[in-house]
Structure formats: structure tokens, C-alpha cells
Amino acid sequence: MTNMRNRILCVLLLSFAGLLLAGCPPRESVAKINQDPGRFAGKEISIAGRVTDSFGAMGSGVFQLDDGTGTMWVFSERFGVPASGAKLAVIGRIEQGFAFGGRNFAIILRETQRRH
């Protein structure tokens, strides 16, 4: 009886973990995105790395993330701007031809979720 209960619990936990992982966007390298940005345009993806530059005000701004393969600017509207040197992962959508604070960015990730 206990053995059967353990098996059922194990199957339920594995099913739940599978559902959680299926909902996560794929993590991509910055180099891969920069090589073919049109392929990723409008799609939700995840990138991770170290913040190398940032500027903003009133809780929104942009920061540059370096994942070791290249750098990408991230626009943060609701999550604040992290300090230089911070390590983090962000989820968002790739956009082309973005302008903020009088600067133009060819390719940018518009942040929809942050994971530290």
C-alpha cells in the first residue's frame, strides 16, 4: 500500500515538474540572436549573464547583458534597472528598431520577467 502511494506521488511530482519546464521559454545565446534577429523577433526567449552597463529613471531603463558570447541591451519597464556587475537571467521578447532616452537600439530584448 505504501509502495503504491509512493509511486503515485512520484508520478504526480514528475508530471508537475514537466509542466513547469514546458512553460519556460528556451534560453538562447546572445551570439545566436545577433546572427539572425529576425528568427527571434516577437518570440519570448530567455538570456542570462552579467550586467555591463545600464541607465534609466523612475523604474524603467535599459541595461546591457553579457552572456560570454556577446552583449545585448534589455529594456526594463517594470522591473527596475540592475547595477553593473549583477548576474541575472531575463525573459522577454526580441524587438528591432527600438528607441529609448534619445538613443536608438537595433536589437533589444523587452523584459517580461526577471529571474535572479
pLDDT of the residue at 9: 57
- Residue 97 belongs to some domain of the structure: yes
- Residue 56 belongs to some domain of the structure: yes
What is the phi/psi pair of residue 111, to 5°? -65, 130
What is the extent of the structural domain holding 91? 26-115
Q: Is the pLDDT of residue 72 over 60?
A: yes
Residue whose C-alpha cell reads 527571434 in the numeric block: 40
88 DSSP β-pair partners: 49
- Residue 3 belongs to some domain of the structure: no
Q: What is the CA radius of gyration of the chain?
A: 18
How far apart are the C-alpha atoms of 47 and 19, rounded to whole Å?
A: 21
CATH no. for residue 94? 2.40.50.140
Is the distance from CB of 63 to CB of 54 less than 8 angstroms?
A: yes
- Residue 16 belongs to some domain of the structure: no
**What's the total number of domains in the chain?**
1
The string of pLDDT tens digits covering residues 5-47 is 666 655 545 545 444 444 566 788 999 998 888 888 888 999 9
The whole-chain average pLDDT of the chain stands at 80
Please tell me the pTM assigned to this model: 0.72
Is the distance from CB of 3 to CB of 10 less than 8 angstroms?
A: no
